[in-house]
Amino acid sequence: MSERHDFYRHIHKGLRLGGARLLLRLGRADWAQPAASAELLADLRGHLVLARKHLEHEDAEINIIIRTKALDLGLRLDHDHADHFAAFGRLEVAIRATEQADGPAREGAGHRLYLAFSRHLGEDLLHMAREEEEAMPVFQARHDDGELQAIENRIKSAIPLDELVAYFRLMLAGCGPAERVALMADIRAGAPPEVYAIVEAQAARVALDEGEWDELQAGLDQRPVAA
Protein backbone atom coordinates (compact mmCIF):
# COMPACT_ATOMS: atom_id res chain seq x y z
CA MET A 1 0.00 0.00 0.00
CA SER A 2 1.05 3.62 -0.43
CA GLU A 3 3.05 5.09 2.43
CA ARG A 4 0.90 8.20 2.30
CA HIS A 5 -2.76 8.27 3.28
CA ASP A 6 -5.08 8.13 0.25
CA PHE A 7 -8.77 8.71 0.96
CA TYR A 8 -9.73 7.78 -2.60
CA ARG A 9 -8.07 4.37 -2.72
CA HIS A 10 -10.43 2.03 -0.88
CA ILE A 11 -13.78 3.53 -1.80
CA HIS A 12 -12.79 3.69 -5.46
CA LYS A 13 -11.75 0.04 -5.42
CA GLY A 14 -15.16 -0.80 -4.01
CA LEU A 15 -17.07 1.28 -6.53
CA ARG A 16 -15.06 -0.17 -9.40
CA LEU A 17 -15.87 -3.67 -8.22
CA GLY A 18 -19.57 -2.88 -7.80
CA GLY A 19 -19.78 -1.34 -11.27
CA ALA A 20 -17.89 -4.20 -12.91
CA ARG A 21 -20.14 -6.80 -11.31
CA LEU A 22 -23.24 -5.00 -12.51
CA LEU A 23 -21.90 -4.59 -16.03
CA LEU A 24 -21.33 -8.33 -16.20
CA ARG A 25 -24.82 -9.08 -14.87
CA LEU A 26 -26.47 -6.63 -17.25
CA GLY A 27 -24.68 -8.17 -20.21
CA ARG A 28 -25.75 -11.71 -19.22
CA ALA A 29 -29.30 -10.85 -18.10
CA ASP A 30 -32.30 -12.84 -19.29
CA TRP A 31 -34.82 -10.04 -19.55
CA ALA A 32 -37.60 -12.56 -20.16
CA GLN A 33 -37.32 -13.62 -16.50
CA PRO A 34 -39.28 -10.97 -14.54
CA ALA A 35 -38.14 -11.89 -11.02
CA ALA A 36 -34.45 -12.15 -11.85
CA SER A 37 -34.40 -8.98 -13.91
CA ALA A 38 -36.34 -7.08 -11.23
CA GLU A 39 -33.66 -8.04 -8.69
CA LEU A 40 -30.94 -6.91 -11.06
CA LEU A 41 -32.60 -3.55 -11.65
CA ALA A 42 -33.05 -3.06 -7.91
CA ASP A 43 -29.36 -3.80 -7.36
CA LEU A 44 -28.43 -1.36 -10.12
CA ARG A 45 -30.53 1.35 -8.51
CA GLY A 46 -28.88 0.64 -5.16
CA HIS A 47 -25.42 0.95 -6.67
CA LEU A 48 -26.32 4.23 -8.36
CA VAL A 49 -27.55 5.63 -5.03
CA LEU A 50 -24.19 4.83 -3.45
CA ALA A 51 -22.35 6.30 -6.43
CA ARG A 52 -24.41 9.50 -6.28
CA LYS A 53 -23.88 9.94 -2.56
CA HIS A 54 -20.16 9.32 -2.97
CA LEU A 55 -20.00 12.26 -5.39
CA GLU A 56 -21.98 14.38 -2.93
CA HIS A 57 -19.48 13.50 -0.17
CA GLU A 58 -16.62 14.52 -2.45
CA ASP A 59 -18.35 17.77 -3.37
CA ALA A 60 -18.84 18.64 0.31
CA GLU A 61 -15.41 17.73 1.69
CA ILE A 62 -12.89 17.25 -1.12
CA ASN A 63 -13.65 19.18 -4.30
CA ILE A 64 -14.33 22.34 -2.34
CA ILE A 65 -10.72 22.12 -1.12
CA ILE A 66 -9.08 21.12 -4.39
CA ARG A 67 -10.46 24.23 -6.11
CA THR A 68 -8.44 26.39 -3.69
CA LYS A 69 -5.21 24.54 -4.51
CA ALA A 70 -5.50 23.58 -8.20
CA LEU A 71 -8.37 25.52 -9.75
CA ASP A 72 -8.23 24.02 -13.24
CA LEU A 73 -8.19 20.49 -11.85
CA GLY A 74 -11.00 21.33 -9.43
CA LEU A 75 -13.15 22.68 -12.24
CA ARG A 76 -12.45 19.55 -14.30
CA LEU A 77 -13.57 17.35 -11.41
CA ASP A 78 -16.68 19.50 -10.98
CA HIS A 79 -17.44 19.03 -14.69
CA ASP A 80 -16.99 15.27 -14.33
CA HIS A 81 -19.41 15.22 -11.41
CA ALA A 82 -21.99 17.24 -13.32
CA ASP A 83 -21.75 14.75 -16.18
CA HIS A 84 -22.19 11.88 -13.74
CA PHE A 85 -25.28 13.41 -12.16
CA ALA A 86 -26.78 13.84 -15.62
CA ALA A 87 -25.92 10.21 -16.42
CA PHE A 88 -27.72 9.04 -13.28
CA GLY A 89 -30.88 10.66 -14.62
CA ARG A 90 -30.48 9.02 -18.02
CA LEU A 91 -29.87 5.64 -16.41
CA GLU A 92 -33.03 5.91 -14.33
CA VAL A 93 -34.99 6.61 -17.52
CA ALA A 94 -33.41 3.52 -19.10
CA ILE A 95 -34.21 1.42 -16.04
CA ARG A 96 -37.86 2.48 -16.13
CA ALA A 97 -38.05 1.79 -19.87
CA THR A 98 -36.77 -1.73 -19.24
CA GLU A 99 -39.25 -2.28 -16.42
CA GLN A 100 -42.16 -1.12 -18.56
CA ALA A 101 -41.25 -2.97 -21.77
CA ASP A 102 -43.08 -6.18 -22.70
CA GLY A 103 -42.16 -9.19 -24.79
CA PRO A 104 -39.34 -8.83 -27.33
CA ALA A 105 -39.16 -5.08 -26.64
CA ARG A 106 -37.88 -5.83 -23.14
CA GLU A 107 -34.74 -7.46 -24.52
CA GLY A 108 -34.00 -4.36 -26.60
CA ALA A 109 -34.62 -2.04 -23.66
CA GLY A 110 -32.35 -4.13 -21.45
CA HIS A 111 -29.56 -4.00 -24.02
CA ARG A 112 -29.87 -0.21 -24.29
CA LEU A 113 -29.62 -0.01 -20.50
CA TYR A 114 -26.51 -2.20 -20.64
CA LEU A 115 -24.90 0.13 -23.20
CA ALA A 116 -25.83 3.23 -21.20
CA PHE A 117 -24.35 1.78 -18.03
CA SER A 118 -21.20 0.66 -19.86
CA ARG A 119 -20.69 4.21 -21.10
CA HIS A 120 -21.23 5.63 -17.63
CA LEU A 121 -18.90 3.10 -16.03
CA GLY A 122 -16.16 3.82 -18.57
CA GLU A 123 -16.38 7.54 -17.87
CA ASP A 124 -16.45 6.91 -14.12
CA LEU A 125 -13.32 4.74 -14.30
CA LEU A 126 -11.48 7.56 -16.05
CA HIS A 127 -12.76 10.07 -13.50
CA MET A 128 -11.68 8.01 -10.49
CA ALA A 129 -8.24 7.48 -12.02
CA ARG A 130 -7.96 11.26 -12.51
CA GLU A 131 -8.77 11.83 -8.85
CA GLU A 132 -6.20 9.30 -7.66
CA GLU A 133 -3.43 10.21 -10.12
CA GLU A 134 -3.90 13.99 -10.22
CA ALA A 135 -5.91 15.22 -7.24
CA MET A 136 -4.46 12.97 -4.54
CA PRO A 137 -0.86 14.14 -5.12
CA VAL A 138 -2.06 17.73 -4.72
CA PHE A 139 -3.55 16.88 -1.33
CA GLN A 140 -0.52 14.87 -0.26
CA ALA A 141 1.83 17.72 -1.16
CA ARG A 142 -0.07 20.19 0.99
CA HIS A 143 -1.42 18.09 3.90
CA ASP A 144 0.09 15.60 6.31
CA ASP A 145 -1.50 12.19 6.79
CA GLY A 146 -3.34 13.27 9.92
CA GLU A 147 -5.09 16.03 7.99
CA LEU A 148 -5.95 13.66 5.16
CA GLN A 149 -7.34 11.13 7.64
CA ALA A 150 -9.42 13.88 9.24
CA ILE A 151 -11.03 14.68 5.87
CA GLU A 152 -11.92 11.02 5.40
CA ASN A 153 -13.22 10.74 8.97
CA ARG A 154 -15.53 13.72 8.45
CA ILE A 155 -16.99 12.00 5.40
CA LYS A 156 -17.48 8.68 7.21
CA SER A 157 -19.05 10.31 10.25
CA ALA A 158 -21.74 11.92 8.07
CA ILE A 159 -22.80 8.62 6.47
CA PRO A 160 -25.74 6.73 8.04
CA LEU A 161 -24.78 3.30 9.36
CA ASP A 162 -26.76 1.31 6.78
CA GLU A 163 -25.04 3.17 3.95
CA LEU A 164 -21.64 2.81 5.61
CA VAL A 165 -22.19 -0.95 5.77
CA ALA A 166 -23.04 -1.00 2.06
CA TYR A 167 -19.86 0.90 1.21
CA PHE A 168 -17.78 -1.42 3.39
CA ARG A 169 -19.18 -4.50 1.65
CA LEU A 170 -17.83 -3.16 -1.60
CA MET A 171 -14.54 -1.89 -0.21
CA LEU A 172 -13.71 -5.09 1.66
CA ALA A 173 -14.52 -7.21 -1.37
CA GLY A 174 -12.53 -4.93 -3.68
CA CYS A 175 -9.41 -4.49 -1.55
CA GLY A 176 -6.43 -6.72 -0.89
CA PRO A 177 -5.83 -8.60 2.39
CA ALA A 178 -3.62 -5.99 4.08
CA GLU A 179 -6.03 -3.21 3.11
CA ARG A 180 -8.96 -5.14 4.61
CA VAL A 181 -7.13 -5.48 7.90
CA ALA A 182 -6.34 -1.75 7.90
CA LEU A 183 -9.94 -0.82 7.13
CA MET A 184 -11.41 -3.00 9.88
CA ALA A 185 -8.72 -2.03 12.39
CA ASP A 186 -9.55 1.63 11.75
CA ILE A 187 -13.25 1.00 12.40
CA ARG A 188 -12.44 -1.03 15.52
CA ALA A 189 -10.23 1.76 16.87
CA GLY A 190 -12.49 4.68 16.08
CA ALA A 191 -16.10 3.49 16.25
CA PRO A 192 -18.24 2.27 19.16
CA PRO A 193 -18.03 -1.52 19.66
CA GLU A 194 -21.63 -1.99 18.55
CA VAL A 195 -20.91 -0.22 15.25
CA TYR A 196 -17.84 -2.35 14.67
CA ALA A 197 -19.90 -5.48 15.36
CA ILE A 198 -22.47 -4.43 12.74
CA VAL A 199 -19.83 -3.67 10.12
CA GLU A 200 -18.12 -6.98 10.86
CA ALA A 201 -21.33 -9.03 10.66
CA GLN A 202 -23.13 -7.23 7.84
CA ALA A 203 -20.19 -6.14 5.68
CA ALA A 204 -17.07 -8.23 6.25
CA ARG A 205 -18.80 -11.55 6.88
CA VAL A 206 -21.06 -11.06 3.85
CA ALA A 207 -18.43 -9.73 1.45
CA LEU A 208 -15.64 -12.25 2.09
CA ASP A 209 -15.36 -15.96 1.50
CA GLU A 210 -14.18 -18.30 4.26
CA GLY A 211 -10.51 -18.04 3.39
CA GLU A 212 -10.63 -14.24 3.18
CA TRP A 213 -12.57 -14.05 6.45
CA ASP A 214 -10.04 -16.22 8.27
CA GLU A 215 -7.19 -14.16 6.83
CA LEU A 216 -8.86 -10.96 8.01
CA GLN A 217 -9.35 -12.30 11.54
CA ALA A 218 -5.74 -13.48 11.70
CA GLY A 219 -4.54 -10.05 10.62
CA LEU A 220 -6.70 -8.29 13.18
CA ASP A 221 -5.46 -10.63 15.92
CA GLN A 222 -1.96 -9.35 15.26
CA ARG A 223 -3.03 -5.76 15.83
CA PRO A 224 -3.43 -4.74 19.49
CA VAL A 225 -6.77 -3.19 20.42
CA ALA A 226 -6.35 0.18 22.09
CA ALA A 227 -7.43 0.18 25.73
Q: What number of CA atoms fall less than 13 Å from residue 67's CA on the CB side?
A: 12
Q: What is the CATH code for 1-159? A: 1.20.120.520
Q: Where is 173: in which H helix or E strand?
A: helix 161-174
Is 227's pLDDT higher than 60? no
Report the share of the chain in percent with pLDDT over 70: 98
In 3D space, the residue among 170, 153, 143 whose CA is nearest the CA of residue 4 turns out to be 143
In 3D space, the residue among 160, 158, 208 whose CA is nearest the CA of residue 183 turns out to be 208
Q: Where are the domains of the chain?
A: 1-159, 161-227
In the prediction, which pLDDT does 224 show? Answer: 78
Give how far Cα 162 sits from Cα of 95, 153, 166, 202, 221, Å.
24, 17, 6, 9, 26
Average pLDDT of 65-70? 93
Average pLDDT of 126-151? 96
Which residues are within 8 A (CB) of 174 and not within 5 positions of it... i.e. 6 or more apart?
A: 10, 13, 14, 15, 16, 17, 18
Average pLDDT of 199-211? 98
Is 225's pLDDT higher than 60? yes
In the prediction, which pLDDT does 1 show? Answer: 43
